[in-house]
């Protein structure tokens, strides 16, 4: 779960789940002694779930399901991890471009998101273990393993060591990608860290530094990867070109020239054909369309109408309003993609918050995190669909675990927002400029 969550910080939840499920299956195969894979059999049949004991069967279900849970939870930790986070930040920048009290940076998001993220992970672990293996399984770590469990542990250890050995030594291209990835993360953190002067302020000054966003650094790193060599050994590349020249003496000049171009094209780590083939263009279109929908919700007057309707409940406690809005968004995201849910609710919640004279972040942060709590239904999000497609976890099992986890995650979010996050962002104070901006456009 921890590894899956960490990968999900920087990779989409769908890609993370698709990558981790085969790894989880390989571990389960080593534990259960599954036979060679039959292409016509489902994964459940391949693992021979019906032949396993209740505890082993429950562990298989838990192992697969937490791949989806951990990838979705990891998306809440980093500002750039998932579409709802980006939609939320874009909405803040659009509404309050010059209000430092209502802004969200990479570091600020990390400060409030990490503690509840660990709470979500622990909740997922406890619920999954309790439902599939039993409540007493939580104390198994305090007893000596049985002979069967010790054998399974050795098989898993052997399988992991063999897989690690087959990876081979790290290549220059892998080191290069890791280096530039670290540069990217460090640049994001120290662009506007909050506890010290950021590098953008030092280089460009306070006024001009606002023009340089996290996306600026990201695009720069991408351009560098288009030029960075894939193989540091220049002699090796030259030798490869010379070999082609020798082999193509009898070929036509055009064909030899084409082969030379292929070799030279492969010298860079990133190439345009790779981008065309691997880039999730649909995700970009979805986020872009989401920004347009958010603007439409505001310009059509829908957000103002809802804000006026909700303002009738301003006599209720602000924590109750926060919990109700978070629960509504969590329920909605079970039937819509998290990006679409955020596109609809984030601009509405922003208007509602200020109409109730609440800090924009008090309701805004839960509206950004809640769309990631799509744990209940297979159609709610691609990670759930990937898990359900294995036929290891049933529909009602996913529904039960997801319902329990949703309730706990909502509770953790409300607790977080009314404790350290409330202090961190000074949510009890609403800037006058924010009220003036919204009162000028809100007519109830």
351's enclosing H/E stretch is helix 338-355
**Helix ranges (DSSP H) in 75-105:** 83-95
Are the beta carbons of 68 and 17 closer than 8 angstroms? yes
Are the beta carbons of 268 and 310 closer than 8 angstroms? no
pTM, to two decimals: 0.75
Q: Helix, strand, or coil here: 82?
A: coil
Q: Helix, strand, or coil here: 39?
A: coil
Greatest Cα-to-Cα distance within the chain, rounded to the nearest angstrom: 87
Q: Helix, strand, or coil here: 268?
A: strand
Distances (CA, A) of 353 to 27, 299, 335, 350, 421: 47, 17, 25, 5, 16
pLDDT of 207: 64
Name the burial class of residue 311, with classes exposed (0-12), middle (13-18) and buried (19+) by CB atoms within 10 angstroms of its CB. Answer: middle
Quote the CA–CA distance of 435 and 430 in Å, as a whole number. Answer: 8
Quote the CA–CA distance of 7 and 74 in Å, as a whole number. Answer: 8
Are the beta carbons of 12 and 77 closer than 8 angstroms? no
pLDDT of 440: 47
pLDDT of 375: 93
Return the DSSP state at 279. S
At 229, give phi and psi (nearest 5°).
-70, 140
Quote the CA–CA distance of 50 and 41 in Å, as a whole number. Answer: 14
Q: What is the pLDDT along the chain (444 residues), one digit of tens a residue?
A: 999 999 998 888 888 888 898 888 888 887 777 665 655 566 777 777 788 888 888 889 999 999 999 999 999 998 888 888 888 988 888 888 777 778 888 888 888 899 999 999 999 999 999 999 888 877 777 778 778 778 878 877 887 888 788 888 888 888 998 898 888 888 877 776 666 677 777 776 666 656 777 778 888 888 999 988 887 765 555 555 555 555 655 555 555 555 444 444 457 888 888 888 777 676 567 666 666 766 676 677 766 676 666 666 667 788 998 999 999 899 888 887 788 788 888 888 888 887 788 888 999 999 999 999 989 988 888 888 888 888 888 899 999 999 999 999 999 999 999 998 888 888 888 877 776 665 545 555
């Amino acid at each position: 779960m921890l590894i899956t969550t960490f990968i999900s910080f920087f990779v989409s939840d769908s890609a993370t789940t698709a990558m981790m499920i085969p790894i989880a299956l390989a571990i389960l195969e080593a534990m259960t002694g599954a036979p060679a894979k039959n292409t016509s059999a489902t994964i459940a049949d391949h693992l021979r779930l019906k032949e396993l004991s209740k505890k082993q069967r429950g562990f298989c279900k838990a192992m697969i399901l937490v791949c989806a849970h951990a990838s979705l939870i990891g998306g809440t930790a980093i500002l750039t991890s998932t579409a709802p986070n980006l939609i939320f930040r874009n909405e803040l920048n659009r509404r309050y471009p010059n209000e430092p009290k209502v802004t969200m940076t990479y570091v600020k998001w990390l400060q409030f998101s990490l503690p509840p993220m660990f709470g979500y992970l622990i909740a997922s672990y406890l619920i999954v273990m309790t439902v599939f293996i039993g409540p007493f399984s939580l104390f198994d770590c305090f007893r000596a393993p049985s002979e069967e469990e010790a054998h399974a542990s050795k098989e898993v250890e052997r399988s992991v060591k063999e897989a690690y050995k087959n990876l081979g030594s790290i290549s220059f291209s892998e080191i290069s990608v890791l280096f530039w990835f670290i540069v990217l993360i460090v640049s994001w953190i120290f662009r506007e860290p909050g506890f010290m002067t950021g590098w953008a302020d030092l280089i460009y000054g306070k006024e001009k530094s606002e023009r340089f966003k996290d996306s600026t650094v990201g695009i720069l790193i991408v351009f560098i990867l288009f030029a960075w060599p894939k193989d540091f050994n220049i002699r090796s590349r030259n030798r490869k070109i010379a070999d082609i020249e020798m082999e193509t003496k009898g070929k036509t000049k055009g064909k030899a020239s084409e082969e030379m171009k292929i070799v030279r094209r492969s010298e860079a780590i990133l190439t345009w054909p790779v981008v065309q083939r691997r880039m999730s263009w649909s995700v970009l279109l979805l986020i872009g369309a989401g920004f347009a929908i958010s603007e439409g919700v505001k310009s059509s007057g829908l957000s103002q109408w809802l804000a006026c309707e909700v303002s009738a409940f301003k006599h209720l406690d602000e924590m109750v309003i926060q919990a109700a809005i978070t629960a509504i968004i969590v329920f909605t995201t079970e039937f819509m993609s998290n990006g679409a849910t955020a596109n609809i609710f984030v601009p509405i919640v922003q208007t509602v918050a200020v109409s109730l004279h609440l800090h924009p972040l008090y309701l805004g942060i839960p509206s950004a995190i809640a769309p990631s709590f799509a744990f209940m239904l297979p159609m709610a999000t691609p990670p759930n669909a990937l898990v359900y497609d294995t036929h290891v976890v049933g529909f009602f099992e996913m529904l039960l675990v997801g319902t329990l986890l949703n309730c706990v995650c909502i509770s953790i979010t409300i607790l977080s927002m009314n404790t350290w996050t409330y202090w961190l962002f000074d949510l009890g104070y609403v800037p006058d400029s924010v009220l003036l901006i919204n009162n000028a456009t809100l007519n109830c």
